Amino acid sequence: MTITITAFERSPDRGKGLARDMRVRWALEEVGQPYEVRLVSFKAMKQAAHLALQPFGQIPTYEEGDLTLFESGAIILHIAERHPGLLPDDAKARARAIAWIFAAVSTMEPVIVDRETARYLEGKESWYEERLAYVNDRIRKRLGELSARLGDADWLDGNFTAGDLEMVSVLLRLEGSALLDEYPNLCAYSARGQARPAYKRAFEAQKAVFLAVSAGGQ
Ligand code: GTB
């Protein structure tokens, strides 16, 4: 059955792979599932046809036969449960890997997104730098805890899982800030994720969208 996901027609990250379709692409590449991509404009995302798939008017979505999903974490869990390669067979190890997916999106990502939101919405305020210091400290707290748990292991719990895929994707949102550099084992962890052939294929695929739009002079 054909899998179709949605992605930005013009991603604001200009091909850096930071939008959440990248995680879904990466998961599909890890399990060797071909997929199609429907590009949506910001205008189309807020219109009825897309809202029927994604009630908040966002990307990514996932369609497979009569199944439609939204929320990248749920999509990744669905892919990981349906195809071998992203979750261990052992039931307890599988449950722990799923816990790491949730840890990435609900414990780590909110503090990181808060930093981005502060920059976009409050960057010009006189108190921005002061607020940023607090936001950065909240991120450092989480990075320190994650760093302590990872230690010198390659992945969070044994072999690479969907939990690592989600966690590396979240850490990537810190690229360009110096925060991650304070935690060498997390830098190495992120680099290991990005070195995976499936990550590279997914990255090139999303970058091709940006290059095509740029070449079209749009
Ligand atoms: N919880 C949802 C999920 O995980 O699927 C969140 C989905 C979401 O935030 N989608 C964003 C979106 O559609 C794109 S990924 N935004 C449009 C809107 O809300 O109108 C977030 C994102 C966007 C851009 C960058 N960037 O340019 O660097 C990075 C991340």
Output the domain CATH number for residue 161.
1.20.1050.10
Q: Which pLDDT value is given to residue 201?
A: 98
Q: Which pLDDT value is given to residue 175?
A: 87
Confidence band for 19, pLDDT divided at 50, 70 and 90:
very high
On whether both 16 and 55 belong to a single domain, the answer is: yes
What CA–CA distance (Å, rounded) separates 79 from 164? 14
Mean pLDDT of the chain: 96
Confidence band for 37, pLDDT divided at 50, 70 and 90:
very high
Mean pLDDT computed over 22-36: 98
pLDDT in tens, 114-143: 999 999 899 999 999 999 999 999 999 999
On whether both 16 and 95 belong to a single domain, the answer is: no
On whether both 98 and 171 belong to a single domain, the answer is: yes
Q: Is 182 touching ligand 1 by the criterion CB < 6 Å?
A: no
Confidence band for 217, pLDDT divided at 50, 70 and 90:
low
On whether both 9 and 76 belong to a single domain, the answer is: yes
How much distance in Å is there from the Cα of 110 to the middle of ligand 1?
Answer: 13
Q: Which pLDDT value is given to residue 107?
A: 98
pLDDT in tens, 143-166: 999 999 999 999 999 999 999 999
Q: Is 147 touching ligand 1 by the criterion CB < 6 Å?
A: no
Given a cut of 70, is residue 102 above it in pLDDT?
yes
On whether both 163 and 206 belong to a single domain, the answer is: no
On whether both 184 and 142 belong to a single domain, the answer is: yes
Is the CB of residue 180 less than 8 Å from the CB of residue 150?
Answer: no
Looking at residue 32, which CATH number applies to its domain?
3.40.30.10
Pocket test for ligand 1, best of 54, 59, 68, 101 (most atoms within 8 A of CB): 59
**Tally: H helices and E strands in the chain:** 10, 4
Pocket test for ligand 1, best of 8, 9, 11, 20 (most atoms within 8 A of CB): 20
On whether both 13 and 47 belong to a single domain, the answer is: yes
Number of domains in the chain: 2
Q: Which pLDDT value is given to residue 215?
A: 87
On whether both 146 and 176 belong to a single domain, the answer is: yes
Mean pLDDT computed over 66-88: 98
What CA–CA distance (Å, rounded) separates 39 from 95? 34
Q: Which pLDDT value is given to residue 30?
A: 98
On whether both 101 and 180 belong to a single domain, the answer is: yes
Given a cut of 80, is residue 218 above it in pLDDT?
no
What CA–CA distance (Å, rounded) separates 218 from 216? 5
Confidence band for 69, pLDDT divided at 50, 70 and 90:
very high
Mean pLDDT computed over 66-91: 98
On whether both 159 and 109 belong to a single domain, the answer is: yes
Given a cut of 60, is residue 104 above it in pLDDT?
yes
Q: What range defines the domain where residue 18 resides?
A: 3-85+198-216
Given a cut of 60, is residue 14 above it in pLDDT?
yes
φ, ψ dihedrals at 140, nearest 5°:
-60, -40
Return the residue whose CA atom lies nearest to atom 2 of ligand 1.
71
On whether both 119 and 152 belong to a single domain, the answer is: yes
For residue 162, the Cα-to-chain-centroid distance in whole angstroms is 11
On whether both 32 and 57 belong to a single domain, the answer is: yes
